[in-house]
């Protein structure tokens, strides 16, 4: 379950519960034609387009003017220099501007939109000076590998849930994996022979839909031991290969050979 930043809705009025509807048909058509992109990338593009729509309060795209796109550009510029939650990083602002530009370049070629100004897409481009004014973000504090190992060794390991939690922490450090990737791995993705973790975009959730073979980081064997201990427990329960590396606890609790371990 996750938020759908590009959700399409049908309602009687132009706006319902914060969602505009005037542009849903063209957005649906764009989404269909964007099928060559990874799902997560489509979501990001749709979120940028919806951002433009929100700034313009749902104005129909067939009536867009250069000054409308300029207003969206000004909001992005202001977000670069803002503070707290409304602040956008240089990367986020640049990506959203690029995604909106790409959408507008396609939009002005569509039937019903060909009368839009030809220079509409270029109006969203952010000046270099805007990036220079961007507020620098505070450096994040990260635990050292030694601190992470201390945390891992201090984690309890009596129940199935506790062992699973330890293995999830350990594999994240072994391969520098995102949480969404960790929770979608299969048992076969952990390759002990070649000391690798496979990110298969067809089977697991990977950043930008990329498949990768990740060599384990040369860190303490404590991390490897935690993952191996977990996998041995899964294999002892009859799981292997394409089965989830981190199944839901409900599923595990209903296996007769694991009930006594909970």
Q: pLDDT tens digits, the chain, 262 residues: what are they?
A: 455 555 555 444 555 455 678 899 999 999 888 887 777 788 899 999 999 999 999 999 999 999 999 999 999 988 887 776 677 888 888 999 999 999 999 999 999 999 999 999 999 998 877 666 655 566 678 889 999 999 999 999 998 899 999 999 999 999 988 888 888 899 989 988 889 998 877 776 766 567 778 899 999 999 999 999 999 988 888 888 888 899 988 887 776 655 444 4
CB neighbours of residue 101 within 10 Å: 18
pTM above 0.75, yes or no: no
Q: Which residues contact 253 (CB under 8 A, 6 or more apart)?
A: 160, 259, 262
Closest by Cα among 40, 19, 9, 4 to 205: 40
Class of domain 145-261: mainly alpha
Beta strands in the chain (DSSP E): 15-16, 19-20, 190-191, 196-199, 212-215
The DSSP letter of residue 196 is E
Gap between the Cα atoms of 19 and 242, Å rounded: 39
Element (H, E) at 81: helix 66-81
| Residue spans per domain, the chain | 15-132, 145-261
The pLDDT value given to residue 213:
87
What backbone torsions phi and psi does residue 57 show, to the nearest 5 degrees? 55, 45
């Amino acid at each position: 379950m996750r938020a759908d930043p590009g959700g399409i809705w049908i309602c009687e009025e132009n706006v319902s519960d914060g969602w505009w509807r005037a542009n849903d048909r063209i957005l649906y058509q764009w989404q269909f034609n964007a099928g060559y992109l990874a799902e997560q990338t489509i979501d990001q593009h749709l979120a940028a387009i919806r951002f433009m729509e929100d700034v313009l309060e749902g104005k129909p795209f067939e009536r867009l003017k250069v000054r409308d796109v300029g207003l969206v550009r000004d909001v992005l510029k202001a977000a670069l220099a803002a503070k707290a939650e409304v602040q956008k990083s240089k990367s986020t602002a640049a990506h959203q501007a690029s995604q909106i530009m790409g959408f507008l370049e396609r939009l002005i070629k569509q039937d019903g939109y060909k009368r839009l100004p030809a220079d509409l897409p270029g109006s969203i481009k952010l000046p270099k000076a805007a990036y220079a004014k961007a507020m620098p973000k505070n450096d994040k504090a990260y635990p050292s590998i030694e601190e992470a190992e201390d945390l891992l060794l201090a984690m309890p390991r009596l129940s199935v849930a506790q062992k699973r939690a330890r293995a999830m922490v350990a594999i994240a450090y072994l391969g520098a994996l995102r949480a969404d990737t960790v929770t979608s791995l299969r048992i076969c993705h952990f390759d002990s022979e070649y000391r690798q973790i496979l990110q298969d975009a067809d089977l697991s959730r990977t950043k930008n839909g990329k498949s990768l073979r990740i060599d384990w980081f040369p860190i303490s064997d404590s991390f490897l031991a935690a993952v191996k201990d977990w996998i041995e427990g899964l294999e002892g329960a009859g799981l292997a290969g394409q089965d989830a590396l981190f199944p839901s606890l409900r599923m595990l609790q209903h296996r007769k050979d694991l009930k006594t371990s909970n």
